Amino acid sequence: TLTADSSVVIHVQGVAWGSDTTFASTWKNGAPGQATVSVLPPAMAAALEGQTVGSQVLIVVPADQTAQDTQILQAPEGTALVYVVDILGIAG
């Protein structure tokens, strides 16, 4: 089970709502990503806490809550965001 302190290994794809713009994709990059849950954008971190390894999580972030996503993941501004996250493991 993931906690805020977990170093999680994930595949993630981020898409701007209502468009074909993919702004983040570890599948496209060819390798999963790794991060501590608490340093992810707030909506993503909140959605992942409590999830288990092997889960696939769909996260929708309203446009007015995407400031951190824009800073951390270079997400487009002023639009809702959709993430699909595969939780592959916990490192360490």
Average pLDDT over residues 16-32: 92
What does 30-69 look like in DSSP terms, one character per residue? TS-EEEEGGGS-HHHHHHHTT--TT-EEEEEE-GGG-HHH
Contact present, 81 and 61 (Cβ < 8 Å): yes
Please state the rounded mean pLDDT for residues 50-69: 97
Q: What is the pLDDT of residues 27-49, one digit of tens each?
A: 998 999 999 999 999 999 999 99
